[in-house]
Each structure stands twice: as structure tokens, then as C-alpha cells.
Amino acid sequence: METMLYQLNFKRGQHIKPVTTVATEAARKFFIETYGCQMNVHDTEKAAAVLSGMGYQQVAAADDADLVLLNTCMVREKPQQKVYSRVGDLKNRGRRSKKKPSVKPAPIIGVMGCVAQAEAEKIFKKAPDVKLVIGTHSISSLPELIGQIDSGFPRAIDIRQTKEAEFLEIAPSDHQTPNLAFITIIEGCDNFCSFCIVPFTRGRERSRSAKRILEEAQGLVERGYYEIQLLGQNVNSYRGSFEGIEDATLVRADKSAFVILLELMAKYSGAARIKYTTSHPRDFNEQIVEVMDQYNNLCPWVHLPAQSGSTRVLGLMRREYTREDYLSKVAAIKNAKRDISITGDMIVGYPGETDADFEETLSLVREVEYDGLYMFKYSPRPNTHAAKRKDNVAEEVKSERLIRLQEVQAEVQKSRFARYLGREVEVLVEGTAAKGEGSLTGHTPCNKVVNFAAPNSLIGKLARVKITATTPNSLLGELINA
Ligand code: SAH
Ligand code: SF4
Ligand code: F3S
């Protein structure tokens, strides 16, 4: 039985590296390189499950694989371009290895994920070495597509869009991320925020049934997972069926489906930690805060991307909330009984963003006091509404704004992190820290990275750690006990 583990201390946009693997000689071998968000990480697990079912074996390096899939992201221009440079590296493999005694042919290269869905056949033109294009709804077609290549077709593509609630479901044993597991609750997005490509790459919104979600979670807990992360582009608009859920006290008309799902998971999944991402500020409500206050295993962390602090820009972005609406949701979170961390995403340089608009973004960041913030320069995306507007904020201005925003967030974060000094936190130990032998890393329930010295035997366990120092993006501590 082969295993492949992912390093979990990844950031959005980084690719996930397999760290261990064992494979036998005979079987065909595959490697999947993952870009983008958690949905893609989870899709990689799904594709790996399908390929393993075909008898393929997973390996830890593209160099050892007969089939390399690039699981791609298109949310900004940079990750999109990365795909083509990676195809270049991979196709050169055959040529490079001619110097070596055993000549290794170039692998079959496939592109899956968001670029595959959006660019479709164009990929074959731009990168003729790509043989397979697998859209975001087509992972289950991998056997068919590979079969076409095997029987001599030069290329194979499937970019169909599923209309009804059709999900590729995997067994708990197919999850590959150590310690924490991702579960899809809702796929796609119907919001069409003016800047965003995701509705084009992930299709229309569709929710999984609550019973299936709960059963998957229970199976994962049985396998020893402590933490479950519920995934969706907009989890708050979850609308799945509650058929087969027996607890009638939970399923009530006066509660939103997402709130019912959270309570169901808190009460019956058995998971020590439940997190969810991403929330949309328009759909986030006080009931969510109330249920988080009620159940300790609902982790005290909300990722609530504002995108801008200016009501005028939010209107142009079609986000359907104002600065004041956003701040009222934040106030509800801050009024909770528990200390709930808030993180977010922010875009600078949206077409038409003035200095005054940008100042409002800075003041919002100061007012909210984010525990973490992903900050991006606006990047025009094909087919989006915003791409039809002139990208009229100069590149230098975007860069300046990004730096100023990063400076303000760094100040905010420093003072937010200081409140942890001397506190004891629970850390789910995910692996060794990037620097230093004997140094471990993991996340708190409020999703902060904590690094501390302890033996490697603690990896995969929960540890109690006392925070002794802070760095710009993490907390440092001493082990109290496991
Ligand atoms: N569903 C999530 C976002 C998914 S994309 C949500 O609604 O919040 C992740 C983040 O990428 C977004 O929150 C946004 O901040 C950023 N992003 C999306 N499109 C972008 C673009 N065209 N340019 C720059 N940043 C973008
Ligand atoms: Fe994109 Fe908006 Fe949907 Fe998020 S809610 S995925 S930003 S369209
Ligand atoms: Fe990227 Fe697609 Fe996720 S565009 S951010 S991988 S949904």
C-alpha cells in the first residue's frame, strides 16, 4: 500500500509537495502538482483516488512519473502563466535524461483544475505537449480519457459542466492530507463578483446532502482525524438536503441550512475541531456566531473576505454589501462570548479605485483588526465583468498600495498576536517547521501557526503549548504537554 502525505503548512498559491511515498516497479506511476486553493488540494485527493482505483501508483516526484497532472489555478494571472512554464520543464525531461545511462521518456502531461475548465482546447494550442485536459467536473472521467490516449488518440479532453447535484465522493481512506481533512459541502459559485473567474471555472452552486457530509466526517474521525475543514466558495449559501437526518430539534425552518449543518457536525461528527471556509459577508449572519458560541468544537475562526473598505468599490465589485454591512457582521463576531479570530482577503487597484477609496480600505483593516489578511493586486481575468473596464490604476500605484496595506496589516497583526503572549493554546501538530531540527509546527483552533520545540513523535497529535514570543506571521511557544 503506498502512501503520500502533504505538507500542510501551505499558503494559497503554493503547490503541495508529497513528502513520502513507496511504489513498486511494475505499475504506471503518477504525480499531481497542486496550485490554488483548498478545493484544488481536495480535488487532487479525488483524482489520486480515481487513478489508484485504475491501478496507478502515486510517486513523490514528477521525475519518477509516467503521468503528471498539473492541478491548476486561474484566480490571478501569475498562477495561470505558471502552468505553461511547468509544461516546458516537464517536456524537457526526456531530452535532459539522454545524458544519463537510462533514458527516461517525458511523461504524459495532463492539465486539470481551473485553467483546464476555462481555457479548454486553447491549452493544446499554447502547449502542444499537453495530452489531457480535465475540467473541474470531470475528474471521474480520468479512466476514459487515459483510455483514449492509450488507444492512440493524440489528445483527450472533457470539460463538461454538471448541472444537477453530482459529486465525486471519495472514501475516508482516500483522504491524503495528514491530521486534518477537507470535506466539500458546496461546489461552484453563483455570485459573479465582477473581478472573479471562479464562477466560470467551477460552475453553478450545488450543495451536497447533509447526511453524506456527516457520514464522511464520521468516517474520517474513525480513522483518527482531529480536524475537519468544510469547504466551499461561499459556505454560507449551503442549501443541501437534510433528508435522513433524525434530530428534529436541529432541522428547523427558522435557521439557515448552513447553521443547521454546523450544529449537526458539532453534535454528531465526533470531530475535535471543525473549521469552514470561505464565508461571504453578504450571507454571513448572527446565527452562525450563536452556534459557534454554543459548541467548543466549532473553531473560533472566521475567514470573511471584505475585498475593499470602500462602499463605492464594493458596489463596482458587485459584492452586494456596504462597508457598514461588513462592519456590522464583524461586530457580531467581536460580540461573541468566545474570542473569535477574523481573517480576510483584500484587493488593491480595482479599476477606478481612487486614493480616497484605498484610504477606506486601510481604515477598515485598522478597524476590523484582522488576525491575518491575504492581500492581492487586482489582476484582470478573462470574461469577467471587471475585465471590460479599463484596468486604469497604474502598476506602480497598485504596488505602492499593496505595500502600504501590508505595512498596516503588519502593525495590526503584531498587536493582535501580542495578546497570545503567556497564553496556553492547543496545537494540532502537522509536521516539522521549515527551519530547524526538532522544531514542530501546527495550527491552533483559531488557525494561527505555532512553532515550538518538541520530538517528532508528536506529529499528528494535539499538544498544549505556552506562547512565549511572536513573529510577523506565527507564534512561538514551549511545549507543556501532549
Ligand atoms: N470564494 C472566495 C474567494 C475565492 S478567490 C470569496 O468569495 O471570498 C480567493 C481570493 O482571491 C478572493 O477573495 C480575492 O481576494 C482574490 N481574487 C479573486 N479574483 C481576483 C483578481 N481578479 N485579482 C486579484 N485578486 C483576486
Ligand atoms: Fe469569486 Fe465572488 Fe464567488 Fe468568491 S463569492 S468565488 S470572489 S465570485
Ligand atoms: Fe484558483 Fe480555482 Fe481555487 S481559480 S483559487 S483553484 S477555485
Q: Is residue 291 a part of any domain in this protein?
A: no
Confidence of residue 2 (pLDDT cuts 50, 70, 90): very low
Angle, vertex CA 271, rays to CA 266 and CA 277, nearest 5: 70
Tell me: pLDDT of 20 over 90: no
- Residue 66 near residue 93 (C-beta atoms within 8 A): no
Question: Mean pLDDT over residues 394-403, rounded?
Answer: 98
Task: Indicate whether residue 293 lines ligand 1 (CB < 6 A).
Answer: no
The CATH number of residue 437's host domain is: 2.40.50.140
Mean pLDDT of the chain: 91
Question: In this structure, how many other beta carbons lie within 10 angstroms of the beta carbon of residue 300?
Answer: 20
Task: Indicate whether residue 198 lines ligand 2 (CB < 6 A).
Answer: yes
pLDDT at 156: 97
The three-class DSSP label of residue 388 is helix
C-alpha distances in Å from residue 113, one per residue of 139, 172, 202, 407 = 9, 22, 9, 33
pLDDT at 9: 32
Tell me: pLDDT of 12 over 70: no
Residue nearest atom 7 in ligand 3 by C-alpha distance: 198
Of all atoms in ligand 2, which is nearest to the CA of residue 234?
Answer: 5
- Encoded amino acid at 299, one letter: C
- Residue 184 near residue 167 (C-beta atoms within 8 A): yes
Task: Indicate whether residue 347 lines ligand 2 (CB < 6 A).
Answer: no
The three-class DSSP label of residue 9 is coil
pLDDT at 370: 98
pLDDT tens-digit series, residues 411-461: 999 999 999 999 999 999 999 987 666 799 999 999 999 999 999 999 999
Q: Is residue 349 a part of any domain in this protein?
A: no
Confidence of residue 105 (pLDDT cuts 50, 70, 90): confident
- Residue 80 near residue 122 (C-beta atoms within 8 A): no
Residue nearest atom 14 in ligand 1 by C-alpha distance: 345
H/E stretch holding 287 reads helix 286-294
User: From CA 109, how far away is CA 72, in angstroms rounded?
Assistant: 13
Task: Indicate whether residue 278 lines ligand 1 (CB < 6 A).
Answer: yes
Q: Give the residue among 327, 363, 475 at the shortest CA–CA distance from 413.
A: 475
| Parallel, antiparallel or unpaired: strands 186-187 and 206-207 | antiparallel
Q: Is residue 323 a part of any domain in this protein?
A: no
State the residue range of the domain holding 78. Answer: 29-158
pLDDT at 91: 85
Question: Mean pLDDT over residues 249-277, rounded?
Answer: 96
Q: Which of 110, 127, 158 is the last residue of a domain?
A: 158
- Residue 407 near residue 361 (C-beta atoms within 8 A): no
pLDDT at 163: 64
The CATH number of residue 154's host domain is: 3.40.50.12160
Residue nearest atom 4 in ligand 2 by C-alpha distance: 233
Task: Indicate whether residue 448 lines ligand 1 (CB < 6 A).
Answer: no
Share of residues in the chain with pLDDT > 90 (%):
85
Q: Which of 158, 192, 221 is the last residue of a domain?
A: 158
Of all atoms in ligand 1, which is nearest to the CA of residue 384?
Answer: 22
Question: In this structure, how many other beta carbons lie within 10 angstroms of the beta carbon of residue 411?
Answer: 11
User: From CA 8, how far away is CA 19, in angstroms rounded?
Assistant: 11
- Structural domain tally of the chain? 2
Q: Is residue 387 a part of any domain in this protein?
A: no
Residue nearest atom 3 in ligand 3 by C-alpha distance: 37
Share of residues in the chain with pLDDT > 70 (%):
91
Ligand 2 mean position, distance from CA 200 (Å)? 10
Of all atoms in ligand 3, which is nearest to the CA of residue 115?
Answer: 4
Ligand 1 mean position, distance from CA 125 (Å)? 28
Of all atoms in ligand 3, which is nearest to the CA of residue 233?
Answer: 7
Q: Is residue 194 a part of any domain in this protein?
A: no
Ligand 3 mean position, distance from CA 156 (Å)? 22
pLDDT tens-digit series, residues 285-304: 999 999 999 999 999 999 99
- Encoded amino acid at 358, one letter: F
Ligand 1 mean position, distance from CA 249 (Å)? 37
pLDDT tens-digit series, residues 139-190: 999 999 999 999 999 999 999 887 655 789 999 999 988 889 999 999 999 9
Residues 6+ apart with CB under 8 A from 175: 45, 181, 182, 220, 223, 225
Confidence of residue 95 (pLDDT cuts 50, 70, 90): low
Task: State the residue for C-alpha cell 471587471.
Answer: 386
Q: Which phi and psi angles does 117 have, rounded to 5°?
A: -65, -45
pLDDT tens-digit series, residues 218-233: 999 999 999 999 999 9
Q: Is residue 308 a part of any domain in this protein?
A: no
Pocket test for ligand 2, best of 37, 234, 284, 317 (most atoms within 8 A of CB): 234
User: From CA 35, how far away is CA 347, in angstroms rounded?
Assistant: 20
Residue nearest atom 24 in ligand 1 by C-alpha distance: 378
**The pTM is what?**
0.92
Q: Is residue 433 a part of any domain in this protein?
A: yes
Helices (H), 97-205: 114-119, 122-126, 142-150, 198-202
- Residue 310 near residue 361 (C-beta atoms within 8 A): yes
Q: Which of 95, 130, 158 is the last residue of a domain?
A: 158
- Residue 229 near residue 175 (C-beta atoms within 8 A): no
What is the number of the ligand closest to the CA of 201? 3
Q: Is residue 466 a part of any domain in this protein?
A: yes
Q: What is the DSSP string of 398-433?
A: HHHHHHHHHHHHHHHHHHHHHTTTT-EEEEEEEEE-
